[in-house]
Amino acid sequence: MRCPRPGCAGTIDDTGFCDTCFRALPPTPTPTPSPVADPAPEPVAAPESAETFDVAGLVPLPVLITPDPTSRLMDGTELLTSRRRCGRNGCTGEIGGNYAGQEAVLEGVCDECGHPYSLKPRLKSGDLVAGQYDVVGPLAQSGFGWVYLARDRHLDDNYVVLKGLINANDSRAAEMAVRERQFLTRLNHPNIVRIYNAVTHHDEGTRETTGYIVMEYVDGPSLDDLRRDARLHEDARLPLEHLLGMGHEILAALGYLHGQGLLYCDMKPSNVMRGSNRITVIDLGGMTEIAAADRSTVGTVPYQAPKEELRTRGATVKSDVHTVGRTLEKMYADAGRGAGVPTVAAESFDRLIRRAVDPDHPHRFASATEMSEQLLGVLRELLSLRDGTEHAAASMLFAPTVEVIDGGLGTVPPLERWTARGLPPPVAAPPPGRSVALGLPIPRTDPHDPGARFLGGGARHDPRDLIARLRDGGEHSAELWLRGCRAHLELGDTEPAERCLTAAEKILRDTPGAWRLEWYGGLLAFARDDVDAAAGLFAAVRDFWPGEAAPKLALGLCAERTGGAEELFRAVWARDRSYTSAAFGLARLRLRAGDRAGAAGILDEVPLVSPHRDAARIAAVRAYAEPLPAAPAADDVAEAERRLPALRLGGGAADGETRRRLVALLRESSPGTDPARLELSYRELATQARTARDHEILVDLANRVRPRTLLTWWR
């Protein structure tokens, strides 16, 4: 019989073993009664204390009460199911691992080169390494060697970890061990395992000398342990905010490594420890220098960047980003999905992962820092939606805006409300497209652009000055062309705005700043009332920057006309109370549903320090007083009247034109208003008329509601 082992051409002889690879023929399975399922193993995560430590500066994680380290020891006979590379004299044969369901072989002969191998631990309990480290026992296996627990005689018998080689003959593994030692001596970061020493130990039995790296002992489970526990125990599932916080710490570690000119290359859940009071990246044996990275870097297939990318580009910062994305994706799928995550936040997380692992290399996050900034945005969004507490932070991409998109609700009705022909526009209607285009934030100026010095970080400029600057030689500045596009929108000229956008595209196409074209394209589309086109462009920006609030606000304003705006407005407003336009959007939605108190309640949330606080208070009064088209109830008008004296109108004057217009609105709305008082309001409005026609209209209104007396009846 031919040997069933892949790649082997041997024959199974009468003894039941292959005459070439010496493997036994796998036994034929026989049906057996289904055994009672063993209970799931107990979670490895340690119990939690009442104390916490912060990750990402936002999420408190419980401090773990970790068990005695000796409880984690292995007996030395365990072996991972995956096979290992021989490595002797460059041999690429595989050794160890299981085969056809049989037990893994800890010692044997390499099928390729014929040399013997041993995968057993080289150190045992009681061994003394370098005259300083008392070996307690094997603790774990890394990709290239055993990891041992030991006590440091020179440091009060504190626990340390000795990391050595499984196979000292493997020249590649030896090289990587030396590399890890060299790299670790240069590193100092709270989220990276610390190295204390590098020592050697001579084995009298094998007469071989093996090198060991002495590292700190990191207590607690790995993320892989947490993932496994969550799959087996429902109560061990990780809240998404915990996972995002851990992701931030991982990215902080990798960002530090990148700043040191190093790539990590092998990020995966088993290489991150959820310590008692910190998150620690371990096992740095796969690291390489960015300048020397090639196509043979170490990694784990489910987490690595696409093979074709590694073959053509080698390892890069973006391939490290890919591994973090896959790590978070795997953890969420196995340990956190479905744990009551608000829809918008879940979608933002999905978009974060999609960009991190995008097979299109240029489209992926450019750095660990860039991904971390977007991750923090998603985390703040999630926390705000979860607990209702604002978690604001200044955007690195979008400049603050002084505009508010209120649809006119936040201003006192103009005199045209009474003098214009036809009915006034409904206060709950979506705002006009041009006001949206001019009210949305704009991207911060690229400091490397030739026009950056003139534009500043996001300062306002007279639109005609910007356009003149373009004529005076600013044609090589993409930022000037983009801001020129918006300047033409301010002047109401969409055709020259489009030409500016086209000019900017010639400079920014296929560059990291190309997303700006989509943003300004969305503004242009909105100014033309092409909401569908605007939504598509803003959606592309949201996909590129999933942690930003501005694209969600823009999409909410698009969805306000088609449906689905509530969740987007809520996500923006809950996270950052400086986006007052989102509050007005929510208020309009409430008014359209007839919920006057709900609209006023949202507007009351606008902070006292907001420049739009007065507009929000005016809007709350109008929310109670305006027809929707149903007339307000007496209680609604009473609430509006109660709020009216607190409004700061006309510079704070007790009387004035704006206050008189609001009073007229309230008297119109109240079903119990004395006609004489309403007549007085109309006559007061008539004094504000700027034309004879407007004056005549307002006087006619006053005469129409004038109470009928005996004199007027006789006439």
φ, ψ at 210 (rounded to 5°): -120, 140
- Would you place residue 479 in the very low, low, confident or very high pLDDT band (cuts 50, 70, 90)? very high
Write b or e for each residue in 172-190: b if 16 or more Cβ atoms lie within 10 A of its Cβ, otherwise e. Answer: ebbebbebbbebbeebebe
| DSSP string computed for 201-229 | EEETTTTEEEEEEEEE---S-BHHHHHHH
How many Å from the N-terminal Cα to the C-terminal Cα in the chain?
A: 124
List CB contacts of 514: < 8 A, sequence separation 6 or more.
508
- Would you place residue 303 in the very low, low, confident or very high pLDDT band (cuts 50, 70, 90)? very high
The two structure tokens encoding residue 640: 């509006």
β-sheet bridge partners, residue 213: 163, 198
Q: Is the pLDDT of residue 84 over 90?
A: no
β-sheet bridge partners, residue 162: 148, 214
- Give the count of alpha carbons within 13 A of 12, CB side only: 12
Angle (CA) 119-323-295 rounded to 5° is 70
Mean pLDDT value across residues 312-327: 96
**DSSP 3-state assignment of 11?**
strand
The question of whether 266 is a catalytic residue gets the answer yes
User: In the prediction, which pLDDT does 30 show?
Assistant: 46
- Residues 111, 127, 224, 266: which is the catalytic one? 266
Between CA 675 and CA 478 the distance in angstroms is 61
Between CA 67 and CA 220 the distance in angstroms is 8
Kind and range of the H or E element at 587? helix 580-592
Mean pLDDT value across residues 691-713: 82
Between CA 419 and CA 656 the distance in angstroms is 19
**DSSP 3-state assignment of 649?**
coil
Average pLDDT, the chain: 87
Could you list the beta-strand ranges (E) of 254-341. 262-263, 272-274, 279-281, 288-289
Between CA 390 and CA 699 the distance in angstroms is 50
Mean pLDDT value across residues 69-75: 88
Between CA 562 and CA 555 the distance in angstroms is 11
Task: Tell me if 267 sits within 8 A of 275, measured CB to CB.
Answer: no
Burial of residue 236, with CB atoms counted within 10 A of its CB: 0-12 exposed, 13-18 middle, 19 or more buried: middle
Burial of residue 596, with CB atoms counted within 10 A of its CB: 0-12 exposed, 13-18 middle, 19 or more buried: buried
Q: Is the pLDDT of residue 112 over 90?
A: no
Q: Is the pLDDT of residue 456 over 80?
A: no
Q: Is the pLDDT of residue 163 over 70?
A: yes
Q: How far is CA 290 from CA 261, 323, 366, 369, 603, in A?
A: 5, 16, 14, 16, 52
Burial of residue 339, with CB atoms counted within 10 A of its CB: 0-12 exposed, 13-18 middle, 19 or more buried: middle
Q: Which of 374-388, 402-416, 607-621, 698-712 is predicted least confidently?
A: 698-712
Between CA 470 and CA 483 the distance in angstroms is 10
Domains of the chain: 1-28 (no CATH), 48-216 (3.30.200.20), 231-387 (1.10.510.10)
User: In the prediction, which pLDDT does 470 show?
Assistant: 81
Residue with the bigger pLDDT between 50 and 151: it is: 151
φ, ψ at 659 (rounded to 5°): -65, -40
- Would you place residue 7 in the very low, low, confident or very high pLDDT band (cuts 50, 70, 90)? low
User: In the prediction, which pLDDT does 213 show?
Assistant: 87
List CB contacts of 694: < 8 A, sequence separation 6 or more.
415, 419
Write b or e for each residue in 118-139: b if 16 or more Cβ atoms lie within 10 A of its Cβ, otherwise e. Answer: bbebbbebebebeebbbbbbbb
Q: Is the pLDDT of residue 430 over 80?
A: yes
Q: How far is CA 458 from CA 138, 461, 672, in A?
A: 59, 9, 51
List CB contacts of 463: < 8 A, sequence separation 6 or more.
486, 487, 488, 490, 491
User: In the prediction, which pLDDT does 173 show?
Assistant: 60
114 conformational bin, left if phi > 0, alpha if psi -120 to 50, beta if neither: left
Q: Is the pLDDT of residue 180 over 80?
A: no
List CB contacts of 408: < 8 A, sequence separation 6 or more.
425, 427, 431
Q: Which of 6-20, 125-139, 614-628, 651-665 is predicted least confidently?
A: 6-20
Beta carbons within 10 angstroms of residue 75's beta carbon? 8
Mean pLDDT value across residues 572-589: 98
Range picked from 87-91, 293-297, 638-642, 655-659 for highest mean pLDDT: 638-642
- Would you place residue 33 in the very low, low, confident or very high pLDDT band (cuts 50, 70, 90)? very low
Q: How far is CA 2 from CA 23, 67, 101, in A?
A: 12, 51, 18
Kind and range of the H or E element at 146? strand 146-152
Beta carbons within 10 angstroms of residue 46's beta carbon? 17
Could you list the beta-strand ranges (E) of 220-338. 262-263, 272-274, 279-281, 288-289
Mean pLDDT value across residues 409-430: 87
Q: Residue for token digits 């000229």?
A: 493
List CB contacts of 605: < 8 A, sequence separation 6 or more.
573, 577, 583
User: In the prediction, which pLDDT does 548 show?
Assistant: 98
pLDDT tens digit string along 220-254? Answer: 999 999 999 988 887 888 999 999 999 999 999 99
**pTM higher than 0.85, yes or no?**
yes
Q: How far out from the chain centre does Cα 632 lie?
A: 43
Beta carbons within 10 angstroms of residue 432's beta carbon? 16
Mean pLDDT value across residues 515-526: 98
- Would you place residue 211 in the very low, low, confident or very high pLDDT band (cuts 50, 70, 90)? confident
